[in-house]
Structure 1
Amino acid sequence: MPRRSLFALSLLTVGLLAAPPASAEDASTAEQTIDVMNALFGKHPGVRANHAKGTVVEGSFTPSPEAASLSKASLFKGPAVPVTARFSNATGVPAIPDGSPDANPHGLAVRFKLPDGDMDVVVNALKFFPVATGEEFRDLLTAVSKSGPDAGKPTPLETFVASHPAAGKAGGTAKTPTSLARQTFNGINAFVLVDAAGKRRPFRWRFVPVDGEELMPPDEAAKQSPTFLMDEIRTRIGKAPAAYRVEAQLAEAGDPTDDATKPWPEDRKSVVLGTLTLTKPVADSLEAEKTLLFMPNALVDGVEVSDDPLIDARVQAYAISFGRRSQ
């Protein structure tokens, strides 16, 4: 797979900032991942080292009648709840053009503000992830960093892809949209819905634009303004709401819940949990996002993490990231 597209796909999970690298002996996997990202993208104080470029908006979530039958979570019980959301581009380059292939996959992080605590959901445009564990993600980034134009053949990246088939395919599942309001965002990790009787249903999130997905050919995307997606979504919702159907793709027996490289079949049942409606761009987005930390395990009773090891890997990296970029 071309280095350029894999470079883009491999930079999804953590929003990280520059800091002095830990010693190899003492660094955790999450710290090592952050250090490699800093080497790949440079150090940009005050911003995330991945998904660095973004914009913050506000709106609400209205649950569907069906949602309460699947989960006892407060999110699905009552009237609409307020949300804060952040759209983003991949990579740790704050000024990356929105239409660049390296800006894929675009991301969406949502905070639901509930009476019993905030709940976060972090999704992106990939249909599956290139690797299954935090250690493999670190190793993928390391392989990218060692596979420059002067690297011998086979390059470390080519060797890695040869032994990790999903790493060569995942990036091709994310394309540049005509608008962030016309992009489908997927949950690569499995979570679990728990109903009032204690029944557990593994699922993956899916945010489907009500107006339909609309993607742009790469040559057309390259002609756009460097900020066309971020500008357009703010202008759009300043005039009229942008809405997404929030769906749960339900697993069936035998579907893996511990491997983000393996998408479930498209014929798996999807239940509409509600509608996310974005209505207002935050006036000072750059200031607002400084304090925002979206955590995949920030859940409420009725929604639980699965056995997917990437969830904990993301949580650890996010925590380190936030500490570094807040210094």
Structure 2
Amino acid sequence: MPLPTDGKRLALAKEVIQAFDDLHGVFPGHRPAHAKGILMAGSFTPTPEAAQLSVAPHFQATTPVFLRFSNFAGVPTAADNNPNESSPRGCGLRFQLGDHVHTDIVAHSTDGFPARTAQEFVEFLHALRASGPDVPHPSPIEQFLGSHPKALAFVQTPKPIPTSFARESFFSVSAYEFINAAGARQFVRYRILPDAGNEYLSAEAAAAQGPNFLMEELVKRVASGPAKMQLWVQLAAVGDVVDNAQESWPADRPQVLLGVISLTQRVPDDDAEGRRIIFDPIPRVAGIEPSSDPLLEPRADVYVMAGKRRREQAAH
């Protein structure tokens, strides 16, 4: 996936990465956000309903996958039990369609997003950084949230610590358009849900855990059998907003199970492909097209720019 040649896109991607660097610090060889993670390998087995919604190849047959769970912060030592460093947790899912051929889903553990556009997200990150404990009220982040009610709702959404990555739910930020064999189109949003159901810790129980407990628990879990996650989509109805990550669809919209992800082993930290993987929020595969959400293109640019920097830093 090449970097864009458009100067404005490049400048915006650099601005987002710089905002994360300013907020978390720079840790060479690591992502500017979601730096600490664990990469798992397994497979995805689709349901018949998936093939009816889209001609995408991974909805037609069982496909190998990588799945990376991560903490939010751009700090490689971010504690799994610290909500300020770990929440929202990330989930990057890659369907391996062939040699150097893949499509990805990028999701996180809060159903929503704090900004409408990448530039607004930069403003959010700047306000966070400028709002230390000694800053007079109203702080920059209080001012930002006061004028951005959707961001305030995102920040106020409870983000409890799960007992396991395999007991957490993850939501794609943007909508996508599925195309089936008859050419019918349907806008959807992904949901990656735990096969075993959600399970969360109280604040006190989370504080009693070790800083790496989620990573360690997942390794132990797959040692005794596959950890399974279900891939669902929520279907948009006519008139639903499909180009705004901050606009949720009504809860009564139908949901369809696309298939089951079965995670069977951890990818070693020294695995070359694991170190190099750059997830892409744009599908780039037949049968799935991106919506016109203005976050999608900048996110893809940021991921590839940050990924190239990470690879260059790791090589030195």
TM-score, scaled to structure 2: 0.91
1:102-149 superposed Cα distances (whole Å, 9 cap, x missing partner): 211111111101149311111110111111110110010011111123
**In the alignment, is residue 65 of structure 1 matched against residue 51 of structure 2?**
no
**Structure 2: runs of 5 or more not aligned:** 1-7
**In the alignment, is residue 213 of structure 1 matched against residue 185 of structure 2?**
no
Whole-angstrom CA distance in 2 between matches of 1:60 and 1:251:
27
Shift in Å, 1:94: 0.8
Whole-angstrom CA distance in 2 between matches of 1:111 and 1:65:
20
Aligned with residue 87 of structure 1, among 69, 74, 77: 69
Partner-residue secondary structure (3-state), 1:202: strand
Q: Judge conservation of contact 2:83–2:159 (CA < 8 Å) in 1.
A: no
**In the alignment, is residue 108 of structure 1 matched against residue 91 of structure 2?**
yes
Q: Judge conservation of contact 2:283–2:290 (CA < 8 Å) in 1.
A: no
Aligned with residue 11 of structure 2, among 5, 8, 28: 28
Whole-angstrom CA distance in 1 between matches of 2:192 and 2:231:
5
Shift in Å, 1:239: 1.4
Whole-angstrom CA distance in 2 between matches of 1:160 and 1:144:
9
Shift in Å, 1:150: 3.4
1:199-226 superposed Cα distances (whole Å, 9 cap, x missing partner): 1100000011111011111221111010
> Aligned letter for 2:69?
F
Q: Which runs of 4+ in 1 moved over 6 A?
A: none
Q: What's 2:4 paired with?
A: none
Q: What's 1:77 paired with?
A: 60
Q: Judge conservation of contact 2:107–2:173 (CA < 8 Å) in 1.
A: yes
**In the alignment, is residue 311 of structure 1 matched against residue 293 of structure 2?**
no
Whole-angstrom CA distance in 1 between matches of 2:177 and 2:225:
33
**Structure 1: runs of 5 or more not aligned:** 1-24
Aligned residue runs from structure 1 range 180-219, under 5 A: 180-219=165-204
Aligned residue runs from structure 1 range 1-327, under 5 A: 28-78=11-61, 80-102=62-84, 103-115=86-98, 117-171=101-155, 172-284=157-269, 288-327=273-312
1:238-257 superposed Cα distances (whole Å, 9 cap, x missing partner): 21111111111000122111
TM-score, scaled to structure 1: 0.88
Aligned length, in residue pairs: 302
Describe the shift of the 1:26–1:115 C-alpha distance in structure 2 as closer, same or farther (beyond 3 A).
Answer: closer
Q: What's 2:3 paired with?
A: none
Shift in Å, 1:285: 5.7
Whole-angstrom CA distance in 2 between matches of 1:228 and 1:288:
25
Shift in Å, 1:290: 2.0
